[in-house]
Structure 1
Amino acid sequence: MTKTARIFQKPKNAMQSGRARTTSWILEFEPVRQQKADPLTGWAGGDATATQLRLSFETLEAATAYAEREGLAFHVIAAPERKLKLQAYADNFR
């Protein structure tokens, strides 16, 4: 069975204005099976430990090179386009 991975760029945190750690690319494995609830605790879980793994790369090329070298099927999720909402302070009083 071939593992499938997704490669994406981490988005900016909505609660903060800074853009720290948004330039790196993340490779994470997609779940193979659906998680099931544990009958004792009720927590969702499974036996697929690869979904807990997140690898960070400096560039998209490095992430795709790693996936190709390891024989992983992967797809790249493009980062959403950044929209700037320019407004003046006077707009608050219209």
Structure 2
Amino acid sequence: MQSGRGKSKHWVLVFEPAAARTIDPLMGYTSSTDMNSQVKLKFDSLEEAENYAQRKNIDYVVQQPHDSTPKKVAYSDNFKSDRRAPWTH
């Protein structure tokens, strides 16, 4: 699986759940009466997101993005003799 960076250049405002989710006794679905849990707002910059939260009197916490650590893997590593799991086909 390859995880790309597409559509990851936005700042997202997500509301914290105000109430715990409940389980429907008949079907087993989880549901919530909190409508804000369905709202996800995207902004082009951190400043826009902060300004919006301040205008609407929303308490917020900024989570800075972290840099991923790329792993160097070669196709030939699949056939090494010292693999952790043996190669089977």
TM-score (norm 2): 0.75
Alignment-derived partner of residue 36 in structure 2: 50
The alignment yields a C-alpha RMSD, in angstroms, of 2.0
Unaligned segments of structure 1, at least 5 residues = 1-14
Alignment-derived partner of residue 65 in structure 2: 79
> What secondary structure sits across from 2:52 in the alignment?
helix
CA distance in 1, matches of 2:21, 2:33: 9
TM-score (norm 1): 0.71
What's the % identity of the aligned pairs? Answer: 32
Aligned length: 79
Q: Which has the higher strand share?
A: 1
Unaligned segments of structure 2, at least 5 residues = 82-89
Q: Say if 2:16 is the partner of 1:33.
A: no
Query: How big is the shift at 1:68?
Result: 0.5
> What secondary structure sits across from 2:61 in the alignment?
strand
Alignment-derived partner of residue 84 in structure 2: none
